[in-house]
Chains A and B, each alone.
Chain A
Amino acid sequence: MDLSADELGIILLSLKVALVSVAFSLPVAIGVAYLLARFEFPGKTLLDAVVHLPLVLPPVVVGFALLVLFGRHGPIGAWLESWFGIVFAFRWTGAALAAAIMGFPLMVRAIRLSFSAIDRRLETVARTLGGSRSWVFVSVTLPLALPGLVTGIVLSFARSLGEFGATITFVANIPGETQTLPLAIYTYTQSPSGDLQALRLSVIAVILSLVALVAAERITRRKTALARAPRT
């Protein structure tokens, strides 16, 4: 199956949006997951609920909220544009933001679970061995949370690739700028002669998702195999 220039452009844009959304949400997700897994503080339940909101809200509502807040005249959007020159509205960066927010709960859940599963006495030992709080986090906590990190990354990456409702509401459906794979498939299904194109893109979407899943599987398996086999 040869890819046309248009198809290639759509795939590359989708990958770019998904990768950027994962890259920027990962550090925030690690921070929030750690906060939720390890600390008791006032407002914890509220934070937990807000993080999970994108999971339960209709994506269109999330997209609309983003439009109101991050649009060029929205309170955050106007401020970001005047101070940093960053524009989200109707740009691919906006698609990445929408994807990041939709994938965020999945990422936080996976990472939080693996933080909770760590035997905290391992961190205590590391402290008594002379490790500062931050060094212990980097050298013990994060490596031990790796399975959760991988799962979180893959889930949110897949969620980003498939993001539709929030994206189309927030940044519309602009070919070459915000038209990711699901939006392109939707567009073709709306035209009388677009069935074949929609089918081709759907197959590509299936392949991309499978590749991501298999890659994640292999990473985790290699890690566990490494942990079992004696290296001599």
Chain B
Amino acid sequence: MIHIDIAQRLGDFELDVAFKADAPIVGLFGRSGSGKTSLVNALAGVARPRRGLIVVNGETLFDSDRGIDVLPERRRLGYVFQDDLLFPHLNVAANLLYGYHRAPASARVIDPEHIIELLGLRSLLHRLPDALSGGEKQRIAIGRALLAQPRLLLMDEPLASLDVARRDEVLRYIELLRDDLAIPIVYVSHSVAEITRLADTVVILSDGKAIAVGDVDEVMGRLDLRPQTGRYEAGAVIDTVVAAHDTEYGLTTLRFDGGELIVPNVEALVGERVRVRIRARDVALALTRPEGLSVVNILRGTLVAIADPGGPIVEAQLRVGAASLVARITKRSRVDLRLAEGQQLYALVKAVSFDRRSVGYA
């Protein structure tokens, strides 16, 4: 549980953020310059707000009224930066154990051996950071933060300085440790894909203010937040469970309460939770259930809203069971189909539109 209500002046920029969030992974989303990093710095105690209150898991870390300002080394919040920031003069093992040795013995519940195994660092222990790849370094930085036995992990754009292939690798490890260690994470990013794949609750920052807080699929699906979440990336997130694998054709069936989705093979066991992201431009709409079509995913839903930002394209938001889906269609189609709110529709999603980056392990 994180409760933040702070104000801080940084040059011309005024950070004035208030929100409460309680989730395994809280996503902090916003464009660059929206105040994400300032907020995380205030949380970590490396920058001091002008006034306000910061409470994490019931412990007050900062309270300007009562004169409380816990030193960063006493806050026990793991901080993973955009750059790995490994200590260049220490080898991997010494980097990993830097915080472990400083944590009180009674708080040492995360075991170094376990982290080394989990993050696949065994063969790197005696190397110096200079000799490692970006992905390896970021994994070590994450391990180092975890071994300091934090009560909360702060990750500020941890994938931003990695190439695409490395991002996927590190993302997979973050999912692994979320499931394995049950440490709450505050995940900062300007990438819709990362936030929707990882976060449960999302806080949207804009111009130093929290303009929306809520479930990731609800907030990211909101059409009025498009200026922040971005039109191109528009899409929806659905939490599903693996229902079956089709080994003959290499397909996986995912079930959620609005129906089933068939996607290219997902490496997960039947019964595991998987989160998928469906981009608005991959969704087509039909008034009746179409026949003789190659599209395998046909979902029945209700039209809730249509956003018309001007121009030839509109976005239609559908409710499918408890999930929501966004479709980008032309304004002409909207008129031709006479779409109206409350109408029953069929949403069509091609199985091939799901790729590695849109399917995650929830």
Interface residues of A (CB under 8 A from B): 119, 121-122, 124-132, 135, 139-140, 143-144, 146, 226-228, 230-232
Residue of A nearest to B44 (CB): A128
Query: What are 6 pairs between A and B in contact, CB < 8 Å?
Result: A121-B85, A124-B46, A125-B85, A128-B78, A128-B145, A230-B126
Question: Looking across the interface, which residue of chain A has its beta carbon closest to that of B127?
Answer: A230
Annotate B64-89 by CB proximity to A: 1 below 8 A, 0 otherwise.
Answer: 00000001110111110101010111
* Inter-chain contacts of B44 with A (CB < 8 A): 128
Chain A residues, Cβ within 8 Å of B81: 121, 125
Q: Is the CB of B99 within 8 A of A129?
A: yes
**In the bound complex, CA of A74 to CA of B98 (Å):** 50
Question: Which chain B residues have a beta carbon within 8 Å of chain A's beta carbons?
Answer: 44-46, 71-73, 75-79, 81, 83, 85, 87-89, 91, 98-99, 102-103, 126-128, 130-131, 144-145, 148
**Are B131's CB and A230's CB within 8 A?**
yes
Q: Is the interface of A mostly helix, strand, loop or mixed?
A: helix
Q: How far is the CA of A232 from the CA of B145 in the complex (A)?
A: 24
Structural contact, B127 and A128, CB atoms closer than 8 A: no
Q: Tell me which residues across on chain B come within 8 A of A122, comparing CB atoms.
A: 85, 87
A227 and B126 within 8 A (CB): no
A131 pairs with B128, CB closer than 8 A: no
Is A228 a contact partner of B102 (Cβ separation < 8 A)?
Answer: no
B73: which A residues are within 8 A, CB to CB? 127-132
State in angstroms the CA–CA spacing of A230 and B75 once bound together. 34
Given contacts A121-B83, A128-B145, 5 further A-B contacts (CB under 8 A): A128-B73, A128-B75, A129-B148, A144-B89, A227-B130
Q: Which of A124, A129, A231 contacts B128 (CB 8 A)?
A: A231
- Shortest C-beta distance, B333 to chain A (Å), equals 51
A120 shortest CB reach to chain B, Å: 10
Give chain A nearest CB distance to B78 CB in angstroms: 7
Assess the A227–B89 pair: CB atoms within 8 A.
yes
- A128, B75: Cα distance in complex, Å: 8
Tell whether, in the assembled complex, residue B127 and residue A131 are in contact, meaning their CB atoms are under 8 Å apart: no
Say yes or no: A129-B145 contact (C-beta < 8 A), given A143-B89, A231-B91, A231-B126.
Answer: yes
- Chain A nearest CB from B294 CB (Å) reads 52
Inter-chain CA distance A227–B90, complex, in Å, is 9
A230-B85 in contact given A130-B99, A130-B148, A131-B73 (Cβ < 8 Å): no
Q: Give the CA-CA distance A126 to B128 in the complex, in Å.
A: 17
User: How many Å lie between the Cα of A126 and that of B99 in the bound state?
Assistant: 8
On whether the beta carbons of A140 and B87 are closer than 8 Å, the reply is: yes
Closest chain A residue to B75, Cβ basis: A128
B79 contacts A125, C-beta separation under 8 Å: yes
Task: Identify which of B46, B88, B103, B130 contacts A130 (C-beta below 8 A).
Answer: B103
Please state if B98 and A119 are interface contacts (CB–CB under 8 Å): no
Q: A230–B98 Cα gap in the complex (Å)?
A: 20
5 interchain residue pairs of minimum CB distance: A129-B99, A130-B102, A128-B79, A127-B72, A230-B131
Closest residue of B by beta carbon distance from A124: B46
Residues of B within 8 A of A139 (CB): 98
C-alpha spacing A29/B44, complex, angstroms: 32
- Report the minimal beta-carbon distance from A112 to chain B, rounded to whole angstroms: 19
Residue of B nearest to A128 (CB): B79
In the complex, A143 Cα to B91 Cα: how many Å? 13
- What CA separation (Å) do A6 and B130 show in the bound complex? 51
* Inter-chain contacts of A228 with B (CB < 8 A): 128, 130-131
- Nearest chain-B residue to A122 (Cβ)? B85
Q: How far is the CA of A122 from the CA of B86 in the complex (A)?
A: 7
CB distance from A130 to the nearest CB of B (A): 3
